[in-house]
Amino acid sequence: MTTTWDLTFLYKGYDDPQIDLDLEKADQMAEDIAKYRGKLSSLSSSEFASFLKQHEEIGNFLVQCGSYGSLLFSQETTNDNFKAVFAKVQQKNVAIGNKLIWINLEINKMEPEVFSKFLNDPQLKNYHHYLEVLRLREPYQLTEPVEQVLNQKALIGSSAWVKFYEEFTADFKFEVEIDGEKKTLSQGEMRPLFRDPNSTTRENVFKAYYQKHVDNSIAISHCFNNIWKDHGQNVDLRKYPSTMTIAHIRNQTDEKIVEKMMDVVKKNYTLVQEYYKAKAKLMGQGTAIKGSDLYAPITKVTKYSWKEAEEAVMSAFNEFDPEIGTMGQRLFDENLIDSEIRKGKRTGAFCAGITPALKPVIHMSFDGTSDGVATLAHEMGHALHDMFAARKQTLFNYHPPLVVAETASVFSEQILISKLLKTMTDEEGKLTLLVNQLEDAIGTISRQTMYIYFEKECHLKGATKTLSFQEMSDIWDKYVKEAYGDSVNFLPEQSANWASIPHFLFIRYYCYAYSFGMLFVLGLYQKYLEEGNPFIPKLKRILEAGGSQFPVDLAASVGLDIRTEEFWQAGFDYLHGLLAEFKEIVEKRS
């Protein structure tokens, strides 16, 4: 029996009058602190600290109400009462948030001497990192009227191209033959078929999917070219040192660290190539796999009951560390996991950390597969991260930056996988785990870094010159070849794969956070394998830091240097270990 969550620690129900009272309270507080407007620079450090504390307190109220609304909606998207609460708290959040916008703007405009006085005052220690991050964009900020014009123009410029691409491609209809029958399918219907058990179906789907993008090359090329050019103008106007600067600010990293990471990923493309060669062998395809078989399912599904899933994760957690075991157990004992599959429930899985004073909750739909068990471990990891961070942090420092946000979740998955690989006697089950882990790591680390290489070259070349669809496909093929070598025989249509990846249009260099995040954690996990139990207190210190430090300092605080090749290589050493186990099973079978 799967479980449903108990949200009464937040509010008694959707009609609890406390929701409105809390919203009113937050609204009143937002009005009250407006009296400091225009005066922040003249406050003493202790006054400024208490001001930020009040600002944070408003945040606590807003996050509590806001999360409750969105959790109810996730629980049952079709419930009108829940929808009404969600809409109300969202609208109130925006309205109250608008009353607070002046604060960050005013902090950003502080004279450098005033700002650095606050930044370095011990009375403001708790807000040091928050203030530091707030000012990261400052050196690249243009004058206010220019920023306003740029914002307005973006609506009919870059943002308009993104919107056009989304609507245009969402409307694609694909003619494809499935089991001898001609069908017309939508985007949503096509994508799951990349993993269809039937090889002919997969091939037909891949061909039709990418050919559609080739057939619409004029419109698609315009979208991508305008994004390359728009960003090129931004780099010029703001005097960014590189096309990637904006992404480094967002991720709280820097160029050198990211280049080192990408370098190491490139050096380890052997992982990708050896994996696909072995998969080809397993599928009886010689030494290179067909391009449409990249995601071909090759294992049987092992089924778990919810109880078995709980036992598998909890025994791995308890064996790893008793304190982590006890904290994980709380999630079950206090009904903080909604795992039931229900009609109207939001799809996907997430953990909501809410605020440091409140318990985290997990939303997932447990389907009984080994993937489902891994998801449970993953989301429980997020919850552990929140619980550890809550010990030391306040709301403004609670959530870690994107690139280290997966630390506890991916680490927890590895704890589970290692334990299962050690104890499992059934070879098919082992193979499933290894395939899932390796394909996930290749997809998240190697492939996303390959995307970044592609994106980087397009930004450099496309800033001044219009690139043809074919030129962009050629750039794509070059980096694909580098990553996959001769381990995959790609279909000619797959050269247009880039044209189907919306991330390139949405946010500059969005994908490196995936590679960075996962490789960062696997590096930590490999350290744990090498050091054993003495590593565990270090891990806990990292988790307790929440969002209070830059990733580089976070790692340094436990003696790790993410500026070095060795750090990033450690993650791959772990993956090469999994690959060796996979290849051993493949050899045995062929």
CA atoms within 13 A on the CB side of 97: 10
Closest CA to 348 of 339, 335, 359: 339
Please select the residue that binds Zn ion; options are 243, 370, 409, 437, rule is CB under 5 A: 409
What's the closest the beta carbon of residue 359 comes to Zn ion, in angstroms?
18
Nearer to Zn ion, 132 or 371 (CB): 371
Please state the closest distance from residue 351 (CB atom) to Zn ion, in A: 7
Q: Which is nearer to Zn ion, 322 or 348 (CB)?
A: 348
Closer residue to Zn ion in complex, CB, 367/581: 367
Supply the minimum distance, in Å, between the C-beta of residue 356 and Zn ion. 19
Pick between residue 25 and residue 346 the one whose CB is nearest to Zn ion.
346
Interatomic CA distance for residues 167 and 13, integer angstroms:
38
**Cβ closer to Zn ion: 264 or 362?**
362
Quote the least distance from Cβ 445 to Zn ion, whole Å. Answer: 15
Enter the DSSP assignment of 457.
H
Which range, of 226-234, 404-412, 515-523, 569-577, touches Zn ion by CB under 5 A? 404-412
Stretch that binds Zn ion, among 50-58, 237-245, 303-311, 409-417 (CB under 5 A): 409-417
| Closest CB to Zn ion among residues 221, 409 | 409
Q: Write the Ramachandran bin of 18: left for phi over 0, alpha for psi from -120 to 50, otherwise beta.
A: alpha
Residues contacting 382, CB < 8 A, separation 6+: 350, 351, 353, 360, 362, 408, 409
Nearest Cα residue to 479 out of 512, 517, 447: 447
Would you say 407 or 526 has its CB closer to Zn ion?
Answer: 407
Residue whose beta carbon is closest to Zn ion:
409
Segment interacting with Zn ion (CB under 5 A) among 46-54, 162-170, 363-371, 403-411: 403-411
Residue pair 191/162 in contact by the 8 Å Cβ criterion: no
Rounded CA-CA distance 453/509 in Å is 10
Q: DSSP letters along 396-452, please?
A: GGTSPPGGGTTHHHHHHHHHHHHHHHHH---HHHHHHHHHHHHHHHIIIIIHHHHHH
User: Cα 585 from chain centroid?
Assistant: 32
Give the shortest CB-402-to-Zn ion separation in angstroms.
11
Stretch that binds Zn ion, among 20-28, 108-116, 302-310, 401-409 (CB under 5 A): 401-409
CA distance 268 to 262: 10
Q: Supply the minimum distance, in Å, between the C-beta of residue 440 and Zn ion.
A: 12
Least distance (Å) between residue 525 CB and Zn ion: 15
Q: Which amino acid is at 427?
A: E
**Where does this chain touch Zn ion (CB under 5 A) — which range of 125-133, 402-410, 448-456, 550-558?**
402-410
Give the separation between CA 523 and CA 565, rounded to whole angstroms.
11
Closer to Zn ion by CB, 225 or 409: give it: 409
Stretch that binds Zn ion, among 83-91, 362-370, 408-416, 437-445 (CB under 5 A): 408-416
The nearest distance, CB 382 to Zn ion, in angstroms, is 6
Tell me how crowded residue 238 is: count the other CB atoms within 10 A of its CB.
15
Taking the complex as a whole, the smallest distance from the CB of residue 331 to Zn ion amounts, in Å, to 15
What is the per-residue binding string for Zn ion in 441-460, x denoting contact by CB under 5 A?
A: --------------------
Q: Do residues 352 and 359 touch, judged by C-beta distance below 8 A?
A: no
CA atoms within 13 A on the CB side of 170: 7
Give the count of residues interacting with Zn ion (CB under 5 A).
1
CA trace torsion 235, 238, 241, 244 (10° rounding): -50
Instruction: Please say which residue, 409 or 444, places its beta carbon nearer to Zn ion.
Output: 409
> Residues interacting with Zn ion, by CB under 5 A?
409
